[in-house]
Amino acid sequence: MEEGKIYYSYNGNLEDEETLEKRAIPKNAVYEVMKMVQAKPLFFEDHMERFMNSIKKSGYAMTLSNEEILTEMILLTRVNLNKNTNIQIVYIPVENTDDYDFIVCFTDSLSATDEQKNQGAGLETVVIERHNPAVKTVGSSYKGQIKTQSKYEDTFEILLVNKEGYITEGSRSNVFFVKNEKVITTPAQNVLLGVTRKYILELCEKNQIEVEYRDISEEEVFEMDGAFLTGTTVDVTPIIKVNNKSFGEIDKKIITLKNQYEELMREYLENFEAN
């Protein structure tokens, strides 16, 4: 292998980054992103369950096992000497057949800095509606929207607003609000169910924090006591500003949930074993 090249896996074979750039990935390709920490995929089982469900709901079939996919992911990090990164796995259906191509590659997914996780990040709202939130496909990704549609220089992520004027989720994250001792989030059927979201809801139950599932209008955001994002590569990131209006200090409940989630991550990675 040539030193300095970034390789990816295509149907089990390592290829260079230039070859990947020439491959056209269709919009109906199903994908999943995982955070690798010391060559260990965080919450691997949860991500694989969502990935397999997306494939099944799209009417496709996967023959690779979780173990085979994990082996490809770990191999890629070792070949590239990059143990702390974000990896994307992609299922590409081959038209008019039952076959598929499978890619494992690095991705520049939205990632929060330590400063943003501790001090908060700025967001803004954009009117976009995800048509099938339960399935994660290339066509449903809004990766380019942050730069092309944002109005403010400090915008870290955008909040999707549906045609009724309600905020559903972030372009690549879930969103929670805090008001009067309660945590409020969009009903499950209206969003892509994030892995981090699942653990935050479990932590709310553990801490006896009431969770209310309802839609939040764009105008109502500024009546909240606080808000935060959750996601594979943002973990728990407080929101300090939406559009041109800032929140006050970060709510104590957000800090509690953030700290406990980070402890969950540490425990999972310490106990994770790969063959």
pLDDT digits (tens, 9 = 90+) for 199-241: 999 999 999 999 999 999 988 998 999 999 999 999 999 999 9
Evaluate if pTM is beyond 0.95.
Answer: no
Write down the residue that tokens 């553990």 correspond to: 206
CATH T-level fold of 114-266: D-amino Acid Aminotransferase; Chain A, domain 2 (3.20.10)
Average pLDDT over residues 108-134: 83
- Residue 57: predicted pLDDT: 93
pLDDT digits (tens, 9 = 90+) for 71-119: 999 999 888 888 888 999 999 999 888 899 999 999 877 789 999 999 9
Q: What percent of the chain has pLDDT over 70?
A: 89
CATH T-level fold of 7-106: D-amino Acid Aminotransferase; Chain A, domain 1 (3.30.470)
**Bigger pLDDT: 142 vs 88:** 88
Domain spans of the chain, in order of start: 7-106, 114-266
> What would the 3-class secondary structure string for the chain be?
CCCCCCEEEECCEEEEHHHHHHCCCCCCCEEEEEEEECCEECCHHHHHHHHHHHHHHCCCCCCCCHHHHHHHHHHHHHHCCCCCEEEEEEEEECCCCCCEEEEEEECCCCCCCHHHHHHCEEEEEEECCCCCCCCCEHHHCCCCHHHHHCCCCCEEEEEEECCCCEEEEECCEEEEEEECCEEEECCHHHCCCCHHHHHHHHHHHHCCCCEEECCEECCHHHHCCEEEEEECCCEEEEEEEECCEECCCCCHHHHHHHHHHHHHHHHHHHHCCCC
Residue 1 confidence class, pLDDT cut points 50, 70, 90: very low
